[in-house]
Chain A
Amino acid sequence: MNKKSSNLLLFSSLMLMIFVLVACSNDSSTDEETASGDGAGSESDLSADLQYWSSYNESEPQARVLLDAADAFMEENPGVSIEFTFNGRDNSELLPTAIQSGRDIHMYDANAVNIINRFSNSNMNLNEFFEESYPTTEDTPLKDYISQPMIDLARDLGEDELFYVPMNPQAFVFMYNKSIFDEAGVNEVPQTWEEFVAAGEKIIEAGYTPLTTDPNYSTGIFGYYLSSLKGEDWVFDLVEDETYEMWSDPAVLEAAKAIEELADKGFYADNVSTVQFPQAQQEFVIDENIAMYLNGTWMPGEVQDTVSEDFEWGQFQFPTVEGGVNDNTHTAYSSYGIGVNQDNTNEEAEAAFNFAVFVNTGEWDQQMVDQAKALPIDTNNENPEALTDMAEIFENTEGNYVSQTAIATNSDNSQIIRSAFINLISGESTAEEFIAEIQDSN
């Protein structure tokens, strides 16, 4: 090899290395979508270039509403530009690392618990912003304008401080098919566990299947039962107990026996041991021969492309369990939220918060309701038709459980519990065997 070609090879190698390094440090992403406003006349003095990282996928209706709302917001505020990165649910995993690595992100959304637990190093305290009124809050301070249960939840999670603007309230409740209830002669939604079992028996007599579930939501019914019986803190202790001795508590057996009884009576769909998400929820709305599904209020939005227009949605809270410490006024609910990065300049923070209010009030909150079948956060907006029962449920709700209940909160054993539970509801194991299966895993 002569010197000239040697130098050429060396130069090429160095260029390759530089190219790789530059490529790795490049901030641009093909996933990013820029919402562009035309900057038509406005007297707003907001001015900032905002980067918004979202937990929605670009194909989800919530993302479309965010993009459209951003367009409208930028039209009203020509000094503001908003650029979105839609990461889907991985946002909660990606965002802390990205911010810590110095990425410029001014605002973000995620479920409320993740905002508080995972983004605590970047959350700005928003108390002062909530005291102000905004163009879409009818001269009312934001804290008094939007849904009070969601504001209370935000305060609870933030230990009396507000770190996010609530959006898309969600609750984990029984979704049911009203037509099947009517046909089976179940005229009132069950308030107690006994009424729940009786309703299921009537449904079976009418030729329908009372319950189904996908694996990821399956343990919710067990978590609810235990939370009603012993309280949520006890269930947290149960799943964190590394000795697994708490699983020998009579309350666990009682809850497992109650579920075993459902399985024995044929409450669960025949294929409950084999369905994989989202098969069961699709069968629930397409086949219309299953009456109930313990799922989230996000479900009507997820199945909106397959559900018939005639499907009659209903919701009811988990029924009261006899001898329990909590009654059916306790519901697993939460919301998504928009957080603001504390490293923002004042202008950026103000613009970010104003957009968060803009998208969660008035017309754009209603757009979330209409397009994503989400619950409104603006109390002046109407629930989507599929979730009309939720208004009464929230009125009756006095206590809160974590989303999908505490039984699923320890990743060290949640899959073990789920696997054993599917065996229980499919009749493969008894209550005692279910408990033994979990304890034996240790």
Chain B
Amino acid sequence: MVMKKKTIFMFLAPALILFGLFILYPVVRTVIMSFFNVNTITSPTNEWSFVGMQNYIDLFSNPTFRISMVNIIKIWAITGFFTLGIALVFAAILSTKIFGRKFFTSIIYLPEVISVIAIGYAWLLYVFNSQFGLINSFFSVIGLESLSNIEWTSPDMLLISMIIAAVFGAIGQYTLMYLSAMTRIPEDFYNVARIEGQNSIYQFFKITLPLIKDVIRTTAVLFTTSTIGFFAFARVFSHISTITPMLFTYNQIFGTEINPETNVGMGAASGVMMSLVGIFFFILSNYIIKKSDYEY
């Protein structure tokens, strides 16, 4: 069917208008804002004063921002490795015909439907609590005293604790994506492998993994873009070792209850930098996991 250009345009128009209004305009405005001294985020442009690259200079001389950049790299690498890795393992297990498959799938996905803030506080105040927390109590009951004495909410451990909570909260969606990809692999491949006497581990690495490589690549990109916006857990765990560029940006733009001073221009510069970092990670993810050569 050949559609007229006018018809194509009319179909595209709503999406293009919405994209321009809600995506393109804020992005362009943020980039421009990053070169100005701006009072509040809604200040009219005639109240902005041009400062050139000063916001970027201030940004990189700000110790909290520098720490937040290091933190986000750690969060991306460690959380990404464990989230995607554990999701792959769960999906591999759930793709077999184990008893209670649907039940376990629902349980693994459950954290996705709970507010991140609620999950964050549950982990921070209850699971990691040094006196009556779930983890320490569990290790204490089974007699592993050295593990039960770990202070999960001490300054040295907060980043690790936050990453554990974040991994727990993110596994569900990636497990479902991998599970969906694995169920699309024809059963014949596995039957042949079994006839040849190959075990499940061999089948996973030689059949499953290569055939879902494209999905792994997609999840890596999705994970990367969501990590750039890592905010809620950082706000709940609230420590210098867990602060992220998104939280830093938020604090610069809106201030806090105790620190009312704002620097919207620097917040915008931070936003621009996050976008650049996001693009970098996006390219890196694509580079690490190359496109699949297999078709089935």
A→B interface (CB under 8 Å): 1, 6, 9-10, 13-14, 16-17, 20, 89, 92-93, 96-97, 100-101, 111, 113-114, 117-118, 215-216, 242, 271, 273-276, 279, 403-404, 408-416, 418-419, 422-423, 426, 428, 441-442
Contacts and interface: CB of A to CB of B under 8 A. Distances in A.
Given A20-B18, A271-B130, A114 B155 contact: no
Given A14-B14, A117-B260, A422-B155, A412 B62 contact: yes
B152 A411 contact: no
A146 B13 CA distance: 60
B185 to A, nearest CB: 34
B243 A415 contact: yes
Contacts, number: 105
A16 B251 CA distance: 34
A414 B256 CA distance: 11
Contacts of B255: 92-93, 118, 411
20 contacts: A10-B10, A93-B255, A97-B40, A113-B260, A114-B257, A215-B239, A271-B130, A273-B155, A274-B130, A274-B151, A274-B152, A276-B124, A279-B125, A404-B258, A411-B64, A412-B62, A413-B64, A415-B64, A415-B238, A426-B154
Interface residues of B, number: 43
B256 A411 contact: yes
A329 B254 CA distance: 34
A114 B260 contact: yes
Contacts of B10: 10
Nearest to A93: B254
Interface string B39-64: 01111000000000000000001111
Contacts of A279: 125, 129
Given A97-B41, A411-B251, A273 B151 contact: yes
Contact of B240 (A9, A276, A410, A419): A419
B67 interface: yes
A408 B151 contact: no
B131 A271 contact: yes
Given A100-B43, A408-B259, A411-B251, A416 B63 contact: yes
B151 A215 contact: no
B11 interface: yes
B131 A408 contact: no
A92 B10 CA distance: 43
Given A16-B14, A273-B154, A414 B259 contact: yes
Nearest to A98: B42
Contact of B42 (A17, A97, A275, A412): A97
B258 A408 contact: yes
A98 to B, nearest CB: 9
A409 B61 contact: no
A191 B166 CA distance: 47
Given A97-B41, A426-B154, 11 more contacts: A96-B42, A97-B40, A100-B43, A117-B260, A275-B153, A279-B129, A404-B258, A409-B258, A411-B251, A415-B238, A416-B67
A411 B257 contact: no
B17 interface: yes
A92 B255 CA distance: 9
A415 B152 contact: no
Contacts of B40: 96-97, 100
Contacts of A101: 42
